[in-house]
A and B are shown apart, each in its own frame.
Chain A
Amino acid sequence: QQQVKQSPQSLIVQKGGISIINCAYENTAFDYFPWYQQFPGKGPALLIAIRPDVSEKKEGRFTISFNKSAKQFSLHIMDSQPGDSATYFCAASPETGANNLFFGTGTRLTVIP
């Protein structure tokens, strides 16, 4: 059973466009919501993360929007660039301990010039 549901599975965006990836969860104990970026042949790397006490977090061209009541969060990539082409994973973790980081199934983003 997938604890974090992610969509779409793949996404093609024109350079300069906005890429949007959505995730949803059910477990209200989740308290930490990171996004990881993975290039082919590499391990995932943290891109940006949010906690449920804020509804939005922005870092450069990357923004997380968080809707606690709907148990949904999304990643927006503004002015998408070919260098952003990668697989993106949302994840969620409960508040305490070294517990599991539950990952979504990933979105393969392709930004075409």
Chain B
Amino acid sequence: DAGITQSPRHKVTETGTPVTLRCHQTENHRYMYWYRQDPGHGLRLIHYSYGVKDTDKGEVSDGYSVSRSKTEDFLLTLESATSSQTSVYFCAISEYGQANTEAFFGQGTRLTVV
């Protein structure tokens, strides 16, 4: 895998609690993305970042926030987890943006909200 580490790899949390997922890259790529993967939906973009402190929403951003204080780290926060946020979350990175180049994905974080 292209120097992407997601943590934790698995997490079970209770409804209403805050949760933060971390993505760390060693590739110095400018763009970072958070996707969620659900059966019947494929992968859907939650938020992405095009630089330090520069972020934007994806197609399923409600209930999620992100932060990028360093090039190598991109955090995804669920302010108050709900059962509908049970999913597998993938971080991805790309050098020039997904319109033009390969996106590299991490191993995923399986999140269960009970």
Interfacial residues, chain A to chain B (CB-CB below 8 A): 2, 4, 6, 31-32, 34, 36, 41-46, 49, 89, 93-101, 103-106
Please measure, in the bound complex, the distance between the C-alpha atom of A6 and the C-alpha atom of B92, giving whole angstroms: 22
- Ordered by A's residue number, 30 sampled pairs between the chains whose C-beta atoms are within 8 Å are A4-B42, A32-B99, A32-B100, A34-B102, A41-B108, A42-B108, A43-B4, A43-B90, A43-B92, A43-B106, A43-B107, A43-B108, A44-B43, A46-B103, A46-B104, A89-B43, A93-B99, A95-B99, A98-B97, A99-B97, A100-B45, A100-B59, A100-B98, A101-B45, A103-B42, A103-B43, A103-B44, A104-B42, A105-B40, A105-B42
Tell me the nearest residue of chain B to A105, going by C-beta. B42
Contact between A44 and B98, CB atoms less than 8 A apart: no
B contact residues, range: 20 to 34
Q: Taking the complex as formed, is B41 at the interface, i.e. its CB lies under 8 A from any CB of chain A?
A: yes
- Given known contacts A43-B4, A103-B44, what 11 new A-B pairs fall within 8 Å (CB)? A31-B99, A44-B90, A44-B105, A89-B42, A95-B99, A98-B50, A100-B48, A101-B45, A101-B103, A103-B43, A104-B42
Tell me the nearest residue of chain A to B58, going by C-beta. A100
Which of B44, B90, B99, B105 is the one whose CB lies under 8 Å from A99? B99
